[in-house]
Structures are given as C-alpha cells and as structure tokens.
Amino acid sequence: MDGITIELPLFLLATFAGAFVAGLSGFAFGLVAASLWLYVLTPLQSASLIVGFGLLVQGYSVWKLRAAIDWRRLWPFMIGAVVGVPVGVSLLTWADPKSVRIAVGAILIVYSLYALFRPQLKIATVVPPAADIAVGFVNGLLGGLTGLAGIIITIWCNLRSLPKDLQRATFQPVAVVVFAMAALLLGAKGSVTPETAKLFVLGLPFLFAGTWLGLKLFGRIDEAAFRKIVLALLLVSGGALLF
C-alpha cells in the first residue's frame, strides 16, 4: 500500500467487515478481512494484521462475555492450544500451504453441509478432559499453521449444541491464547514493519466500530439463528480456503 488511494478505503472497509462478522459470530475475522486485504497488502502484512486485530477483537468480545466464562471448562483447551501452536508454526517450514488449505477447506465444507441438512446431533455436554485437550491441541496446531485460531473448537462446541453464549465463552478465550502466542512469535521474528504498524493504527476505529455493531446484533439473535450463522460461515470459510 503506497498512498491514500482506493487501497486505503478498501483496507478500512475490509477491517470493518471482518470485525463485524467476528463480533456477530465470534470467529472468521481473518478470512473475511484477508479476502480483500490480499489485493492491497503483502501476505506478511496481512498475517501480521490478522494476528494483531484478531487479538483485539477476540479480547474485547471475551471481556463482554466474561460473565459466561468458566475457567474450569477452559483449561483443557488452553493446555492443548499452548502445545499445539508451536507445533503448527514449526510445520510451516516443510508443510505445503496449498495442501493444508485444501484439506482444511474440504473438511469445513463437508462438516458444515452435513450439519446444516441433518437433524441436530448433540454430543454429551460432559466429556473427558483428555478429549478437550486433544481438540485444543488440534485447534492450536491449525492456528499456528494457518492462522485459523478457533475453527476446530467452534466445530466442537457446535457439535455439542452448547448455548450460544457458552459456545463463544469457550472458543473465543482459546482464540485469544492462539493469537497472543502467534503475535509473540511474529514479534520475535521482526515481522512487523513501520508500514504495518501505521495500518494497524488507522484501522483501529473501524475495527472497534465493526466489533461493537456485530456484538449488538449477536444479542438479538436466538440459538437457532446463531447456529445457522456459524455453519454458514464455516461453509464460506471452507470455500475460501479451497478455491
């Protein structure tokens, strides 16, 4: 981005749209924003801004939903994510990004189509901590590898048919941990340039406006509508990764 032309309005519009979707659903900021950012930003700029903005969006949403957070339920996911993120980052050195995107995209499409058109299946609300640790690990691994910080736990919560507040109070705190670890790793590598920092500051008002509006709408939708929104976004996310 080399000046205030059509590129800057496009960047700000994508930031607002990504924040709005994340405020409404609790995830998918990066996929929505990057779909336009990558026309005007480098991949490294896009990845750095996804992590920085994503951390703020998720952190703000977690604060708004703090009354529903149960740390006793979250610790297995947190442990799994903390172990999984470095593994995912290390896989970047030899994994084929295109193959990873295709595989994840196909899984998201198959799952979301199945879940949209089948009778709702409910897994037992109480599951062994080992299962949650495994889900957290896979989620962290995928987050370190692709930047998708909460996709796996989102699917897990949806499968268990948890109430919408409980779902978001589960997968969003874990996403904060994934983004925070990714931010530390990017910072350690010196990946954040002055131009990226300038864009970050310019985008902040649009980020907070979109998040606020999305959270307002989230408070007005029922459980069934929330489930359909999440599944539709998973389907779109899968398509974006695949194609």
For residue range 90-117, list pLDDT tens digits in order: 776 676 767 777 887 888 888 888 777 7
With beta carbons less than 8 A apart as the criterion, state whether 27 and 139 touch.
Answer: no
Residue 2 within any structural domain of the chain: no
How far apart (Å, rounded) are the C-alpha atoms in residues 56 and 29? 11
DSSP 8-class letter at 122: -
Range of the domain at 174: 7-242
pLDDT at 135: 94
Residue 93 within any structural domain of the chain: yes
- pLDDT tens-digit readout, 161-212: 788 888 888 888 988 888 888 778 766 666 677 888 899 999 999 999 999 9
Domain count, the chain: 1
- Quick check: pTM over 0.85? no
- pLDDT tens-digit readout, 115-173: 777 666 566 566 788 999 999 999 988 887 776 777 888 888 888 878 888 888 888 89
- pLDDT tens-digit readout, 27-58: 778 878 877 787 788 777 887 888 889 888 88
Residue 127 within any structural domain of the chain: yes
pLDDT at 148: 73
With beta carbons less than 8 A apart as the criterion, state whether 44 and 100 touch.
Answer: no
pLDDT at 36: 79
How far is Cα of residue 25 from the mean position of the Cα atoms in its chain?
10
Q: Give CA angle at 15 (164, 162), nearest 5°.
A: 10
Residue 113 within any structural domain of the chain: yes
Which is higher by pLDDT, 125 or 213? 213
pLDDT at 81: 92
How far apart (Å, rounded) are the C-alpha atoms in residues 68 and 61? 12
Residue 187 within any structural domain of the chain: yes
Residue 1 within any structural domain of the chain: no
Number of helices (H), then strands (E), belonging to the chain: the values are: 10, 0
Token match 């699917």: residue?
155
With beta carbons less than 8 A apart as the criterion, state whether 146 and 100 touch.
Answer: yes
pLDDT at 1: 56
User: Which residues neighbour 117 within 8 Å (Cβ) at sequence distance 6 or greater?
Assistant: none
User: Which residues neighbour 118 within 8 Å (Cβ) at sequence distance 6 or greater?
Assistant: none
| Encoded tokens for 233 | 């976004």
Residue 234 within any structural domain of the chain: yes
Residue 209 within any structural domain of the chain: yes
